[in-house]
Amino acid sequence: MVFVTRLPAQRTSLESVEEQYDWWRSAACREADPELFFPVAAHGPGAREVARAKAVCAACLVRRQCLQYALATHQLHGVWGGTSEDERQLQARRDREREQRDRRDSRRPARVEPGGNGVRGRGSRIRSI
């Protein structure tokens, strides 16, 4: 039996929730020791556990879905989708920076010199013909 706690606006049918996480049934880690994926530290002896966990992930058919889940739910600990905590934090930071840059660029009007026809010459400046 699956229990899902959601706000009323977020409630979906049980079938769609099960379909959403159906990938988990195919995960290679289902048969592995869960402690392997949650080492005490990422350095020292924990680094060997992280490497072993990543080896399990490397052979997993649903690694991409696992990583997407971890990023979407902000999993702070453990190895998910073949990535360590530090790697996911770095990827999340890069994604945020890219989104901010895209939003900023989409709000910026295109620069055109007054009186020009928009034809570009050598370099990046717009010149009039």
pLDDT (0 to 100) of residue 127: 59
Mean pLDDT of all residues in 33-40: 91
Could you tell me if residue 65 is inside a domain? yes
Would residue 27 count as lying in a domain? yes
Establish if 1 belongs to a structural domain.
no
In a domain, 5, yes or no: no
Percent of the chain topping pLDDT 70: 68
- Write the CA distances from 69 to 18, 33, 44, 77, 102, integer angstroms: 14, 20, 28, 13, 23
Q: Which of 13-27, 64-78, 107-121 has the lowest mean pLDDT?
A: 107-121
- Supply the pLDDT for residue 120: 54
Residue 112, both tokens: 């055109």
| Residue 123: inside a domain | no
Residue 126 lies in a domain: no
Burial 10-43 (b: 16+ CB within 10 A, else e): eeeeeeeeeeeeebeeebbbeeeeeebbebeeee
Does residue 129 fall inside a structural domain? Answer: no
| Residue 102 located in a structural domain | yes
Host domain of residue 19? 11-106
Mind listing the pLDDT tens digit for each residue in 84-125? 999 999 988 998 999 999 888 888 776 655 655 555 555 556
For residues 88 and 82, give the distance between their C-alpha atoms in angstroms, rounded to a whole number: 10
Long-range CB contacts for residues 19-27, cutoff 8 Å, separation at least 24: 21/69, 23/62, 23/65, 23/66, 23/69, 24/62, 24/66, 26/61, 26/62, 27/60, 27/62, 27/66
- How many structural domains does the chain have? 1
